[in-house]
Amino acid sequence: MEKAGVGFGHRVSKLYPKMKQYVAGVKNNVHVFDLEKTAKELEKALTYISKIVAEGKTVIFVGTKIQMKAVIQEAAKDCGVSSVTERWLGGTFTNFETIQKRVNYYKDLESKKATGGLVKYTKKEQLDFEREIAKLKIKFDGIRNMTKLPDAVIIFGLDKDITCAREAKRKGIKIISIVDTNVNPDIVDYPIPANDDAISSVRYIIDRVKEVLETSK
C-alpha cells in the first residue's frame, strides 16, 4: 500500500474533521493515513463484497475522475459488472425506470444500425442517428446490462460522485467507497480511507476488489 501511494491524503487545510480518526500524521503539509487502519477497513469492505456476490447480488463501479476512467472501465469489464465513468446522471438510482427507457432506446438504435434497420432513412438522418448513438454510448454503455438496481455501489472518488452516494442512500443501496481526507465518511457504509487521486492507489484497491469478485462468483 505504501508503494502504491495509498497513504497520502490532502493538504492539512482540507481535512474533514471526521476523517481525523484515520490519520497517522503529517508529511510535507499533507495528511498521511494510518495504513493499518486502511488495511482493516479494506478487509471489512472486501469481506462484505465477497458475501453479497456469493449470494448472487450485484455491484456497480462508479468513478468519474478523468484519470481513473480507463482503469475502472477495464476492471468493470474484466469482472462483468456495470460501471459509470462519465458524468453521473441524476436519477440513475432514484429514477431508475426512466433511465432504463433511455438505455433500451440506445440498445434498440444500436441493434437497428447493426442489422441494417437504419438504411431506409436518408443519409442525413442516418448520420444523425449515428451521432445520437455515439452520445448515448458515452452515457449508458456501462449500465446497458443493469436490469435492476444494484445491491451495492463501489465509489472510487466520493468527492466527485457524492450525488451517486446520496441517491444510493435514498434507495437503500449499500455504499463502499474510498474516502480521502477531504470528505465526510458518514454517508458510506464501508469506508476505505485512502488516496483517491493517484492512479496507483486506486488501482491497488481495484485489484483487490477484482480478486474478490472473481473468486466469489
Write down the pTM of the prediction.
Answer: 0.93
- Cell 446522471 belongs to residue: 89
Question: Across the chain, what does the average pLDDT equal?
Answer: 94
- Per-residue pLDDT, averaged over 161-168, amounts to 97
By the 10 Å C-beta count (0-12 exposed, 13-18 middle, 19+ buried), 53 is classed as buried
Question: For the chain, what is the domain count?
Answer: 2
Domain-ending residue, one of 120, 143, 166: 143
Per residue in 74-85, pLDDT tens? 999 999 999 999
Residues 12, 118 within the same domain: no
User: Residue 1: which pLDDT band, with cuts at 50, 70 and 90?
Assistant: confident
Confirm if 181 and 18 have CB atoms less than 8 A apart.
Answer: no
Q: Say if 3 falls within a structural domain.
A: no
Which CA distances in Å does 196 have to 1, 34, 68, 130? 13, 15, 9, 35
Decide if pLDDT at 147 tops 90.
yes
Q: Which of 146, 161, 178 is nearest to 58 (CA)?
A: 146
Q: How confident is the model at residue 119, as a pLDDT?
A: 87
10-13, Cβ contacts within 8 angstroms, sequence gap of 24 or more: 10/180, 10/181, 10/182
